[in-house]
Amino acid sequence: MLTSFEGIYRQGKLELLESPPANLEGRVIVTFLDDRAVDLAKIGMNEQQAADLRSRLATFAEDWDRPEMDAYDAL
């Protein structure tokens, strides 16, 4: 059985956002998540709808990926 706990890795240390049960022991795997990941269910989309949207927006990718567009990220 796999049990997951969310956390943050910062300056060489892993900080769990919730405490696992004290009696829980075992090997762990730390997976770094892409900060751009989106919870599709939370926004009312399924994977097929997201793939369709991604393909329709692909024509804008070259413009969005230009370094000067980073200024809009903070808005």
Would 44 be classed as within a structural domain?
yes
User: Which two structure tokens, joined as six digits, stand for 5?
Assistant: 């706990």
Could you tell me if 7 and 14 are in contact, meaning their C-beta atoms sit under 8 angstroms apart? yes
Residue 39 lies in a domain: yes
> Positive or negative CA dihedral for 5, 16, 41, 31?
negative
pLDDT score of 64: 82
Query: For residue 52, what pLDDT is reported?
Result: 93
Containing domain of residue 13, as a range? 7-59
Q: Domain for residue 65, yes or no?
A: no
The pLDDT of residue 56: 93
- Average pLDDT rounded to a whole number, residues 41-58: 92
Residue 74 lies in a domain: no
Q: How many domains does the chain have?
A: 1
Q: How far is the C-alpha of 14 from the C-alpha of 20, rounded, in Å? A: 14
Reported pTM: 0.41
DSSP 8-state assignment for residue 26: S
Residue 66 lies in a domain: no
Lowest mean pLDDT among 2-6, 32-36, 48-52, 68-72: 32-36
